[in-house]
Amino acid sequence: MHIPKHPTLLKRMTEARVRQLTARGVALGASLVTIRRRCGRPGCHCAQGALHEGYYLTRAVAGKTRTVYVPRELVDEVRGWIAEHRRLKQVMRELTELALARVAGHVRARKRRAGRP
């Protein structure tokens, strides 16, 4: 993202990002992982090579990884929730950069004014 130096442009870009902060649905801060494994039953197809597939959400809670099973019919919806969380995080990163640029611009302008006779 290009950060302009002009205060008006910074303000416009900041306001645009603030409008983007509205969540478009559920936002889920977790990772979706696919696990493939054998069930252990001797007559099952997984004993020959085609493993069972399951989906889980993982996230860190108090320094420990927690997992939650995700039913197959919810996988696409959960992927959308994770994408929404990532989008919101990106908007927050951009807002942070714009806010820092606004502060730095204010400091520069103040120094210029102080240096004038």
In tens, the pLDDT along 54-89 reads 999 999 999 999 999 999 999 999 999 999 999 999
- Range of 89's domain? 7-115
Nearest 5°: phi and psi at 4? -75, 165
> Considering the domain boundaries, does residue 32 fall inside one?
yes
> Considering the domain boundaries, does residue 1 fall inside one?
no
> Considering the domain boundaries, does residue 99 fall inside one?
yes
> Considering the domain boundaries, does residue 60 fall inside one?
yes
Entry pTM:
0.79
pLDDT in tens, 98-110: 999 988 887 777 7
Q: How many domains does the chain have?
A: 1
> Considering the domain boundaries, does residue 95 fall inside one?
yes
> Considering the domain boundaries, does residue 94 fall inside one?
yes
> Considering the domain boundaries, does residue 2 fall inside one?
no
Helix %, strand %, coil % for the chain, to 5?
50, 20, 25
> Considering the domain boundaries, does residue 86 fall inside one?
yes
Grouping H, G, I as helix, E, B as strand and the rest as coil, residue 36 is strand
